[in-house]
Amino acid sequence: MSRSVLVTGGSRGIGAAIARAFAAAGDRVAATHRGSGVPDGVAGVRCDVTDEASVDRAFTEAEALHGPVEVLVANAGVTDDTLLMRMDEKTFTRVLDANLTGAYRAARRAVGPMVRMRRGRMIFISSVSAYAGAAGQANYAAAKAGLIGMARSLARELGSRGITCNVVTPGYVRSDMTDRITDARRAELMRQIPLGRTAAPEEVADVVTFLAGPRAAYVTGAVVPVDGGLAMGH
Ligand SMILES: NC(=O)c1ccc[n+]([C@@H]2O[C@H](COP(=O)([O-])OP(=O)(O)OC[C@H]3O[C@@H](n4cnc5c(N)ncnc54)[C@H](OP(=O)(O)O)[C@@H]3O)[C@@H](O)[C@H]2O)c1
């Protein structure tokens, strides 16, 4: 059955692949962007997740187009890596605001209609950095770890309402975000990935659509790695 899906940060990279995958499965998909557009077959809605009013407007637009949002994928994220010695408070809180508080804003806007429908799926795109940490990513890793605590709290709050909340932790996925990784760090990561390769964004999308689908009806509060084994054991 076709569902109303909203993907934040659906303009490119992993979010665009997720939006395309839902659309290909026949869902009615809205993806957020900040002016750069979204993939064909998907409705673009403007949204900056650091702004509560903007998140509200994006949901209202998606609802007008497709009906109440039944599947939320909180994917929008940024990095701003630097070592703690050089990480000023603004750099720390800006990354928290986009990755963690942004997901909270989307979840909070999504929850009312989901409770009224007595069904819903929330999927939060975290990162292996959440539990493995990464030098230079104190801000990003804190935000991504925060998503796990938030999602598990929501899983407990909302399970009785037929709403599942899960987290996906990608490893090294080819996108604009990872294009910035230095060659030395890239080589080091490749040595640590048992599958010996990076992931395509579509490989993350496959797991997200599974978690949003009927075959994952009994999965909630889970943290699902899509990392080629990079962070196993954490
Ligand atoms: N690539 C990886 O290896 C990897 C690994 C682990 C986790 N992740 C996570 O996966 C998610 C997607 O990453 P990606 O690799 O696809 O990154 P990307 O190519 O840099 O795309 C980031 C997306 O987030 C959006 N975004 C950023 N700040 C936003 C804001 N304030 N409001 C609304 N949208 C915002 C961007 O929108 P604009 O186009 O408007 O800038 C873009 O759509 C992120 O949460 C990232 O942390 C990625």
Q: What is the 3-state secondary structure (H, E, C) of 24-53?
A: HCCCEEEEEECCCCCCCCCEEEECCCCCHH
How would you classify residue 129: left for phi > 0, otherwise alpha for psi between -120 and 50, otherwise beta?
alpha
pLDDT, residue 228, reads: 98
- For 187, the enclosing helix (H) or strand (E) is helix 183-192
Question: pLDDT for 118-172, tens place per residue?
Answer: 999 999 999 999 999 999 999 999 999 999 999 999 999 999 999 999 999 999 9
Q: Where are the domains of the chain?
A: 4-225
Say which residue the tokens 């059955």 belong to.
1
Give, for ligand 1, the residue of 14, 59, 81, 189 to mutate: max count of ligand atoms closer than 8 Å to Cβ: 14
Question: pLDDT for 86-110, tens place per residue?
Answer: 999 999 999 999 999 999 999 999 9
Which fold would CATH assign to domain 4-225? Rossmann fold (3.40.50)
d(CA 4, CA 133) in angstroms, rounded, equals 34
Give, for ligand 1, the residue of 57, 177, 198, 224 to mutate: max count of ligand atoms closer than 8 Å to Cβ: 177
pLDDT, residue 234, reads: 81
